[in-house]
Structure 1
């Protein structure tokens, strides 16, 4: 099934779902060369982003602590269960703008079927309220 591309339809059907857990970003880069088995850590990553400066891993906080990896901030993971197309225009902008207006930082990841938001762990409930208002306004 093809994903939705109509912005109003996507916003009406956001259906945010909170994935259980506490998530952190860690960096594997030139300044993090150490004795850890990075392949094992990457297998446990929930997301991986490869950049010139290094590889960013999104891990459950417990895993980062187990491997003694440094991180800055703990995030909650919200999945927008609406099946949006990778070709859709405006969903990321609408969601991030609404959250920004509420003073909530948001890091977005796109999957083949859903978009995912990582927001500060103490703002997850606030983010859900903002998303509910955004969805209801359509």
Structure 2
């Protein structure tokens, strides 16, 4: 059951660092790429944004600028919960850690610079 209450969300956030390195790429349209290799896609006016494993992007020769770690907030957060994103983004910001957030159906997924992964996990575990 999705959780709406901010205090409960913070108490049960359970951040989990996913293995690997991930990148954001922008392409004019869908590449010759199996759907299983795409973590996220989003249509923007400028083209398609994809989040991929760095190894997949490298294999395809795709350009990227940012290598990220992927942290899943394991709590089942409601899509209309208020304040959860602000709480963890503010906590990370206090430690000068940028955070790119993808809200999926069950969980929030955070992409932070790979170099900041350990510190981000410490910050998130102490929400």
TM-score, normalising length: structure 1: 0.87
C-alpha distance in structure 2 between counterparts of 1:118 and 1:42, whole Å: 20
Write out per-residue CA displacement over residues 25-44 of structure 1, whole angstroms, 9 at most, x where no aligned residue: 01012xxx7xxx71425551
Q: Does 1:79 align with 2:72?
A: yes
More helix by share: 1
The question of whether the paired residues in 2 share the 8 Å contact of 1:73 and 1:120 is answered with yes
**Alignment partner, residue 11 of structure 2:** 12
The answer on 1:51 being equivalent to 2:50 is no
Measured in 1, the distance between the counterparts of 2:70 and 2:107 equals 12
C-alpha separation in 2, matches of 1:39 and 1:99? 36
Mark the structure with the bigger radius of gyration: 1
2:64, 2:114 → 1: CA distance?
14
Query: How many residues are treated as equivalent by the alignment?
Result: 127
1:66 corresponds to: 59
1:97 aligned residue:
90
> CA contact under 8 A between 1:42 and 1:57: conserved in structure 2?
no
Bigger fraction of residues in strand: 2
- Distance (whole Å) between structure 2 residues aligned to residue 88 and residue 40 of structure 1: 34
Indicate if the aligned counterparts of 1:42 and 1:48 stay in contact, CA closer than 8 A: no
- The root-mean-square deviation of aligned C-alpha atoms, in Å, is 1.4
TM normalised by structure 2 equals 0.95
